[in-house]
Amino acid sequence: MTVRFHPAAAEELLEAEWYIEERRPGWGSRFRDRVEEAIHYALSKPGNCVQSYGPDFCSVRVLRFRYRIYYRWVGEVLVVHAVYHDSRKEQGWEGRTVEP
């Protein structure tokens, strides 16, 4: 299985990691580890959603942090569309598209 990030999602991930690290040194790498765990969990369910958002999109929670990863399956590719904090409006990312 392959994972691809929408450019905005990749930027969100870096910004979140930096933001967390600035406030709690050492926690940025913990956040990154939890994001990787969440993605691996989603990969363990190919073609299935952990939590559905309409017919195309799925999400998985980042454990120990108030973030959620929004993704969709395109064939055998898991495409990450957003890395959003729980306080953000969920559907702000739905217009993002990435071809595998």
Q: What CATH number does residue 52 fall under?
A: 3.30.2310.20
Both structure tokens of 71: 């993704």
**pLDDT tens for each residue of the chain, 100 residues long:** 799 999 999 999 999 999 999 999 999 999 999 999 999 999 998 767 767 776 778 889 999 999 999 998 888 899 999 999 988 766 666 667 655 4
Residue 100 in contact with residue 79, Cβ under 8 Å?
yes
pTM of the full structure: 0.85
The tally of CA atoms less than 13 A away on the side-chain side of residue 40 is 7
Structural domain that includes position 21: 2-87
Number of domains comprising the chain: 1
